[in-house]
Structure 1
Amino acid sequence: MDGLAQAVERLGQVLEDSGIPRMPARVFAYVLAEDRDRYTAAELAEGLDVSPAAISGAVRYLTQTGLVVRERRPSGRGDLYRIVDGDVWGTIMRARLPILDHYVASLQEAVALLDAGSAGRARLEETRAYFDFARRQMADLAQRWEAERTGARADSSRT
């Protein structure tokens, strides 16, 4: 097994362990580790040595979750798949912030429906507080990461 295949399998396993289904995890690992920036479904299937049908479901999952972008081929025949331009992880994290906003709002609505002082309400209040905290921390982390990335790019252009 060559280095690319080993890297894809290792990263794919980590992504799978974190909750991404196996084939989408492998496809995402492949588009991160392989040198090209755009792939047809056939190229993904060939690179991973899997069937085109397996790729179809995987790229559907990856596009729906925002991990991969689908675009039309210049020839108009078929689609190309690529990771988000530039800051893939920062983009993914920022895209998750509205999900946390939704959790906080929904939990607040649920809290309001329960009796004050009840055990269930207390658990929901703590859950809401946690997601509110996580959302603020993720937003702050995204800002700090952007500053870090920008600073690192500026430092490397000076050398």
Structure 2
Amino acid sequence: MTEEQPPRANSQRDEKAVSDFVERFAAQLTDAGMARMPARVFAAILSSDAGTMSVAELGEQLKISPAAVSGAVRYLSHVTMVSREREPGSRRERYRVHSDQWYEALGNRDQIVKRWEDTMREGVASLGPDTPAGLRLAETQDFFHFLGQELPLLLDRWREHRERTYGGSVAT
């Protein structure tokens, strides 16, 4: 495998191709369960060279209102897919996607998976471990337990791979 370097900023971007990518990726995120507007905002920020955009830039690129941007960013911040930053010397905010955001988003799911596992355990006890529903919940509980144990190991392997492949100079 050859070592890849982070791409350099390209001032000659094909805005139509960028827009097509944003809408295609947003549609895939929507198909996976994300609301449409947060998916579009996330895809736009992800595809920006700087990895950061303002409300005005997002509104202009996506042809949406500041209120729509605000609602989308609120959701994306809540699920740790973007962070808010103040522009130096200004009250305006910029929204950033970090290069390790997928890692962070998945890593933050540990607590959720653990709660689901605990809830399934309670469900098994409530429904009875020998009932069809209890057996189905027990299998789901076991899946969440398995996922909770394997996900940190997988994320550690990704961190090692990322360091080998991209080193410490990954664009944020």
TM-score by length of 2: 0.81
Q: Which has the higher contact order (CA 8 A, sep 6+)?
A: 2
Describe the superposition over 1:74-132 as per-residue Cα deviations: whole angstroms up to 9, x where unpaired: 2341322111x331211111111211011111212222334342222212111101111
**Residue 152 of structure 2 corresponds to residue 124 of structure 1:** no
Q: Give 1:8 shift.
A: 0.7
3-state SS of 1:145 partner: helix
**Residue 86 of structure 2 corresponds to residue 86 of structure 1:** no
For residues 3-152 of structure 1, the aligned pairs below 5 Å read 3-83=17-97, 85-152=98-165
Two-structure CA RMSD over aligned residues (Å): 1.9
Unaligned runs of 5+ in 1: none
3-state SS of 1:71 partner: strand
> Take 1:78 and 1:151, find their aligned partners in 2: how far apart are those partners?
37
> Take 1:22 and 1:116, find their aligned partners in 2: how far apart are those partners?
39
Unaligned runs of 5+ in 2: 1-14
More helix by share: 1
3-state SS of 1:36 partner: coil
Instruction: Work out the percentage of aligned pairs sharing the same amino acid.
Output: 38
- Number of aligned residue pairs: give it: 154
